Amino acid sequence: MEKNKLNLRKKKLRKTFLELRNNLASSSRIEANIKISNTLNTLLKDCEGPIAFYWPMKNEYDPVEVISKWLMKSKSQAALPVIIEKNAPMKFLSWDTNTILEKGIFNLLVPSSSAQEIHPKTIIIPCVGFDSNNYRLGYGGGYYDRTLTNFSDSKKIGICYGSCKVSSLEPNEYDIPMDLIICS
């Protein structure tokens, strides 16, 4: 598909999926969150750290409680992605339940720049949508795609609500598939 048409298609899908996610009934959201949490807990039982995850925004699934419990049991490390500058790869900075977060670029909550940089073995990534081949649709900034090229040795786990799936996103050369998608 022509690049402009593909970008327009992804923009429309993104809008549709965000509307679906934002309009999810409270009972459906609770049920979906329980299902995702149970699956994530099962996966993390045998997972070695460090693990990178995301701080939720815009009605994304919230992994903080699951990661906090995993941290207490595993005695390993966790990290959050931090946008250092626009259009550049993100860095993963150390996080634990005592970390004080500050507002970063785009007003995202992140650890302070003095936090230790970490190379995660597993990266948990939010998805606006996904396809049958485990390609994710994000918010369109390309931050994860630019970042994941530097983490080919890390396991990539996408998290998404199940209503946001299509057969194919028609990925481009920059898109990186997830090793696994956890969905409701």
Beta-bridge mates of residue 122: 51, 155
Q: What is the pLDDT of residues 162-179, one digit of tens each?
A: 889 999 999 988 999 999
Range of the domain at 75: 3-21+49-183
At 55 the pLDDT is 96
At 162 the pLDDT is 86
Whether 85 maps to a domain, the answer reads: yes
Total domain count, the chain: 1
β-strand pairing of 180-183 with 51-52: unpaired
Q: What is the pLDDT of residues 50-104, one digit of tens each?
A: 999 999 999 999 999 999 999 999 989 999 999 998 899 999 999 999 999 999 9
Whether 117 maps to a domain, the answer reads: yes
Please answer whether residues 81 and 52 qualify as being in contact, where contact means their C-beta atoms are separated by less than 8 angstroms: yes
pTM higher than the cut 0.85 = yes
Please answer whether residues 149 and 176 qualify as being in contact, where contact means their C-beta atoms are separated by less than 8 angstroms: yes
At 1 the pLDDT is 60
C-alpha span between 102 and 167 (Å, rounded): 38
Q: What is the pLDDT of residues 21-30, one digit of tens each?
A: 999 999 999 9
